[in-house]
Amino acid sequence: MQTRRLKTDGLTQQILEAGTGPLVLLIHGFPELGISWRAQVEALAAAGYRAVAPDMRGYGGTDRPEGSANYTALQLVGDMVDLVRALGESQCFVVGHDWGAPIAWHCALLRPDLFQAVAGLSVPFQPRRPNGPPTPAMAVLSKRAGLGDLYINRLQAPDAHLAFEADPATALRKMFWSYDGATADADQSTGFLPPGVSMLEYVSDHATLPLWMRPEHFAAYVAAFTESGFEGPVNWYRAMDLNWSLTAFLQGQKIHQPALFIVGERDPVRHYSGAHEAGMADWVTDLRDRIVIPGAGHWIQQERPETVNAALLAFFDDVSGQLGCKS
């Protein structure tokens, strides 16, 4: 594996890459980096693929434009289109985890000519809702159910990123621990916050690193977020309503490429995305498989790398055989 930076249209992106063969883009989520995919980059490269995991816009070694208007889904998909071109390729497979999953789904939705197959981890495809932007609806529904505030609504505040930047190591440790499959039910985050309690205050100060997170790997996360901050990553959330306003042309659009969905059985994100997970086949017409990994939490490509690698390789080998793009 090697890390390098390359210039795309209007952005310099840092990537982790290895291998030769059909291109697979691996899109990370919040609060992750390209290195979140190290196990997948290694396995895909060994199996005859060219695996590339970028630090996404606002993260790590990639550029960090100012302002939430520079973090729309259209721009993030555009970054991936530009990256494929900069890598000298004309087609690829795409995988996304957490926030990376909606971007991967939208890569497939917007550019089916370029993204031949798609895999989403942890977050299912969510079609555009027709009745107004998402964050006001989230606020109404969570309060009506007596659940408090969904963390997504809290992150809309212009200073929401500052709490994470005050102590990146503690913030990252708490987030990884509270969404980990091995964390006890009482300590796992549900995504909903009581009034007056912040996202980080809600997680116990006894949070420890998950067993799968090696100290040197965690140190790389801390160093990257200490340098780049959290404003860019949080801007992805702040652009959600803008995404809605920009994508009326996608209303009712379905994904027709071969697709795979993988989720951890104990992933807290299922508390607020479960309905979309259940209805995915209505919107993703060639959904080859929906895999639920027993006991796994949210960080599945790091928690259960062997299981995720096997599923991705089986899926891509099958698609490659059908497309004739891998000998």
* Residue type for position 58: G
Specify whether 98 is catalytic: yes
**Triad 39, 42, 43: Cα angle to 5°:** 85
b (16+ CB within 10 A) / e for 202-230: bbeeebeebebbeeeebeebbebbeebbb
Question: Hey, which bits of the chain come out as E strands?
Answer: 2-8, 11-18, 23-27, 50-54, 92-97, 115-121, 149-150, 192-193, 259-264, 287-293
- Which residue in 28, 97, 161, 298 is the catalytic one? 298
Distance of CA 318 to the CA centre of its chain: 24
- Distance in angstroms (rounded) separating the CA atoms of residues 216 and 115: 34
- Which residue in 55, 63, 79, 98 is the catalytic one? 98
| Omega before 22 within 30 of 0, i.e. cis | no
In this structure, what are the phi and psi dihedrals at residue 199, rounded to the nearest 5 degrees?
-60, -40
Residue corresponding to tokens 């691996």: 26
Specify whether 217 is catalytic: no
CA of 98: how far to CAs of 26, 89, 123, 184, 212, in Å? 11, 25, 6, 21, 18
Return the active site residues. 98, 298
